[in-house]
Every structure is written in C-alpha cells, then in structure tokens.
C-alpha cells in the first residue's frame, strides 16, 4: 500500500448534543451481527470517530494514563476504502481505496458480519508510548484505555441509530498483515458498525 502523500477526507464537526440520553444508549446497546447493505452518513462516521479519540482542547474524549495516548484508529469504509483517523485534524487519511472488509473477516476466523458492516473501526495501539513511562504496568493501562474507547463507540453508535459488536477473536498476525500496519502498531479490537437487518 502506498504510504506517501495521503489524500484526506475532512470530517464534519462533531455535535455535542444528541437525541438520546446516555441512559437510553446504555439500555439499548446490544451486540448485533447482521447488517444491511446501507451507507452510513459521513456525519455519523464523524461522531463515532470523535468518540474514539476526539480532541477537546488539550484533552481527548477517552481518558489515557499520563496522557500518553497509545491508541491509533484505523477505519474501513465499504465504498471508500481503508483509512487512518487523524485525531488532530479530525480527518481520514486514505491508505488504500481497496475495501478490506472481506479480508478482515477472513482473518477473523470468517466472521462474515465483519464484511457486511459498512464501517469497521479497528482500534490499535503503540504500547511503547505508555510503557516508556509506566514500564510493564503500562500494558494494563493500554488495555483499559481500549475498553474506554470501545464503549464510547458502542454508545455513540446507539445514539445515532446504528448497531455494533466488539470483536477480539481474530488472528493477530493476519489482521496486522491485511491492514499493513507499521511494526509497532498492534491491532486490539475490531468494531463492525452498521444498520441492523
């Protein structure tokens, strides 16, 4: 994949007020493994990505041990390709125009609903950002942060009328190869998102 100058897709500014309460989102959240072949609006994708690691001044939407921010967010959109989420610019940097959802599903023990979902968010981490400060205990802090990030995604999805499911069952090396991740970037969670059937 070409990692030279990247084409960017600017995302709409996220909204700070939704139409559902937090309590409603918590109550309605469930794991869904069947999705319609329906495009997710860019405004909704923007909200979801902002929830993962979005900036709010000098801070972010997810707590991070010592503000080390080890997470990197990658995105596959069925009709647009494979991207890296640029947190600072709130934009998507195109890595490849290829839809990787079928390959991602195959690398995840053929969980076919991954290839059905219009949007797959892949939460990855650079562990050294946190372990350089906290040593081995930093590994725990990274996993805790991934949990915060994933929960934000699931609740934001519900607030937008979407469904999702957290996926930790996959072959690490195969997913890393499909995504052509840099050596120091480790995939930790795949979150398929879409309109349920």
Segments making up each domain of the chain, as ranges = 26-164+182-194
Q: Say how far apart CA 122 and CA 93 lie, in whole Å.
A: 14
Does 1 score more than 80 pLDDT? no
Give the confidence band of 79 by pLDDT, cuts at 50, 70, 90: very high
What percent of the chain stands above pLDDT 70? Answer: 97
Q: Is the pLDDT of residue 5 over 90?
A: no
Q: Mean of the pLDDT values across residues 43-64?
A: 94
d(CA 45, CA 17): 16
DSSP 3-state helix, strand, coil percentages of the chain (rounded to 5)? 35, 25, 40
Task: Report d(CA 194, CA 33) in Å as an integer.
Answer: 9
- Name the fold adopted by 26-164+182-194: NADH Oxidase (3.40.109)
């Amino acid at each position: 994949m070409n990692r030279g100058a990247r084409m960017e897709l600017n995302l709409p500014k996220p909204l700070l007020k939704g139409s559902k309460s937090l309590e409603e989102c918590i109550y309605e959240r469930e794991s869904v493994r069947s999705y319609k072949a329906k495009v997710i609006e860019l405004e909704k994708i923007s909200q979801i990505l902002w929830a993962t690691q979005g900036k709010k001044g000098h801070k972010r939407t997810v707590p991070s041990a010592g503000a080390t921010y080890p997470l990197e967010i990658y995105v596959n959109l069925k009709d647009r390709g494979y991207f890296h989420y640029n947190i600072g610019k709130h934009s998507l940097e195109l890595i490849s125009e290829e839809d990787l959802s079928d390959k991602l599903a195959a690398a995840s023990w053929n969980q076919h609903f991954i290839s059905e979902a219009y949007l797959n968010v892949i939460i990855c981490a650079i562990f050294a950002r946190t372990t350089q400060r906290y040593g081995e205990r930093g590994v725990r802090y990274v996993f805790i942060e991934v949990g915060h990030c994933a929960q934000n995604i699931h609740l934001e999805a519900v607030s937008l009328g979407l469904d999702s499911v957290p996926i930790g069952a996959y072959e690490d090396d195969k997913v890393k190869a499909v995504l052509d991740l840099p050596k120091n970037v480790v995939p930790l969670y795949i979150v398929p998102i879409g309109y349920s059937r």
